[in-house]
Amino acid sequence: MEQLAEESRLLELETQRREDAERQLAEARAEIARLRGERA
C-alpha cells in the first residue's frame, strides 16, 4: 500500500511539472509573438 502512495505522489509531482512547463512554453510563445509584432 505504501508503494502505491509513493507512486501516486510521484505521478502528482510529474503532472505538476508538466503543467508548469506547458505554461512557461505558452508564455515564451506569447513573448516571441509580441516581439515579432513590434518588429513588423
Q: Which residues of 4-40 are buried (b: 16+ CB within 10 A; e: fewer)?
A: eeeeeeeeeeeeeeeeeeeeeeeeeeeeeeeeeeeee
pLDDT at 8: 97
- Tell me 1's DSSP state: -
The whole-number pLDDT of residue 4 equals 93
- Domain encompassing residue 40: 1-40
Cα-based distances in Å from 37 to 3, 4, 9:
51, 49, 42
**Cell numbers given for 19:** 503543467
d(CA 26, CA 1): 38
User: Per the structure, how many domains does the chain have?
Assistant: 1
The pLDDT tens digits for 4-40 are 999 999 999 999 999 999 999 999 999 999 999 987 6
